[in-house]
Amino acid sequence: MTMPATPVDVPAPVAPAAPYTVTLIPGDGIGPEVTDATVQILEATGISFVWDRQDAGASMIPMYGTALPESVVSAVIKSGVALKGPIATPVGEGFTSVNVALRKRLSLYANVRPARNLPGVKTPFSGIDIVVVRENSEDLYSGIEHVVVPGVVESLKIITEKASTRIARHAFEYARLNNRKKITGVHKANIMKLSDGLFLECCRKVAREYPQIEYTEMIVDNCCMQLVTKPQQFDVMVMENLYGDIISDLVSGLVGGLGVTGSANIGEDATVYEAVHGSAPDIAGKGYANPTAVLMSGIMMLRTFGETDAANRVEKALYAVFTGGKHFTRDLGGTAGTADFVQAVIAAME
């Protein structure tokens, strides 16, 4: 497979200079393994980084009384950029998700997730090159829930003109910067006429400012069906938080799963690059986690820094390793360990 003509890129809220100070949040489970692997590969480019390591997650609670110590938030605000591993969240009880808390504290309003076929990774479809732009700050994730009467719970979906316009503009700017041709606004405005109706109204308004980019709309249920039958029709997709959460995982699945998809959470003052997968407690510490997703996020980070040559070198090496097919980790049907994979990518780097 040839390198894509259009490199994945993200409009940059910060443009620091080398040596790049990056807040490194290794996270839980396989987090330290995959972030360490990514650091090794990024450093092999010869670019100098200062890694400001910060810990967050359940293990911080005894010392700080919170899973997200204030020092972590301040460190990201100071550096403006973080590379983060997954952080575990207890289900149905316990502390609030550190990931969601970090997004809220840093106003990381846009989640950008590119997904593209990788050579040698067998999937039902070829020719997929989709970028999901998800609104990250509101919708049903506002966390406004209450018990109306016992047995009846109300959860509020908040959609604002401000956040919808901001994410629509982000998607169109992304498309413009990356020479993308088409944006699909995903919605359920046939049922949620007011909330999703407002979201669409904002998208349409922004779309009028970008006549060179085709803008279409699709109802979310049909969109899921279209994605698993004719995914090549999609280019950039923009949507509210909940639809984005689900569809971005679906899109990752089209190209090989969560282990191979990177992402950026972008705010006005900071960007957090992270894998889309979780802490994988079932394989943590065993040395065979696939670091590709965090590495993909690291490549996005290099592009945001303007380090295009280095980003291309890493991406090309990664593609070469995948093409060779000898160093697939177990999630992709191979037997390579994380360390073998890292060595193979570094060896393939020109």
C-beta closer to ligand NAI: residue 277 or 303: 277
Torsion of Cα atoms, 40 then 44 then 48 then 49, to 10°: -20
Stretch that binds ligand NAI, among 41-49, 155-163, 185-193, 288-296 (CB under 6 A): 288-296
Stretch that binds ligand NAI, among 41-49, 61-69, 80-88, 102-110 (CB under 6 A): 80-88
Using CB under 6 A as the binding rule, whether residue 340 contacts ligand NAI is answered as no
CA distance 83 to 88: 16
Per-residue x/- track, 31-70, ligand NAI (CB under 6 A)? ---x------------------------------------
Say whether the peptide bond before residue 19 is cis (omega within 30 degrees of 0): yes
CA distance 82 to 122: 31
Least Cβ distance, residue 155 to ligand NAI (angstroms): 19
CA distance 348 to 350: 6
In sequence order, the β-bridge partners of residue 239 are 134
Using CB under 6 A as the binding rule, whether residue 270 contacts ligand NAI is answered as no
Taking a C-beta distance cutoff of 8 angstroms, is the pair 322, 295 a contact?
no
C-beta closer to ligand NAI: residue 207 or 270: 270
Query: In the window 152-181, what residues touch ligand NAI (CB under 6 A)?
Result: none
Least Cβ distance, residue 115 to ligand NAI (angstroms): 15
Least Cβ distance, residue 154 to ligand NAI (angstroms): 24
In the list 80, 86, 185, 231, the residue contacting ligand NAI (rule: CB under 6 A) is 86
Least Cβ distance, residue 272 to ligand NAI (angstroms): 10
Least Cβ distance, residue 68 to ligand NAI (angstroms): 12
- Which residue is listed with tokens 């200062």? 50
C-beta closer to ligand NAI: residue 304 or 338: 338
C-alpha pair distances (Å), 33 with each of 137, 272, 299: 29, 18, 17
In the list 89, 137, 241, 252, the residue contacting ligand NAI (rule: CB under 6 A) is 89
In sequence order, the β-bridge partners of residue 183 are 215, 236
In the list 231, 244, 278, 298, the residue contacting ligand NAI (rule: CB under 6 A) is 278
Using CB under 6 A as the binding rule, whether residue 93 contacts ligand NAI is answered as no
Using CB under 6 A as the binding rule, whether residue 282 contacts ligand NAI is answered as yes
Give the single-character DSSP code of 97. P
Burial of 226 (0-12, 13-18, 19+ CB in 10 A): middle
The DSSP secondary structure of 144-156, one letter per residue, reads: -EEEEETTEEEE-
Query: In the window 230-259, what residues touch ligand NAI (CB under 6 A)?
Result: 258-259
Least Cβ distance, residue 36 to ligand NAI (angstroms): 13
Using CB under 6 A as the binding rule, whether residue 277 contacts ligand NAI is answered as yes
In the list 293, 301, 314, 317, the residue contacting ligand NAI (rule: CB under 6 A) is 293
C-beta closer to ligand NAI: residue 45 or 329: 329
Exposure string for 205-216, b = 16+ CB within 10 A, e = fewer:
ebbeebeebebe
C-beta closer to ligand NAI: residue 88 or 131: 88
- Which residue is listed with tokens 């808390």? 101
> How many residues belong to the site for ligand NAI (CB under 6 A)?
21
CA distance 276 to 304: 19
Using CB under 6 A as the binding rule, whether residue 264 contacts ligand NAI is answered as no
CA distance 248 to 239: 10
CA distance 295 to 262: 7
CA distance 27 to 56: 6
- Enumerate binding residues for ligand NAI (CB under 6 A): 30, 34, 86-89, 99, 258-259, 274, 277-283, 289-290, 293, 331
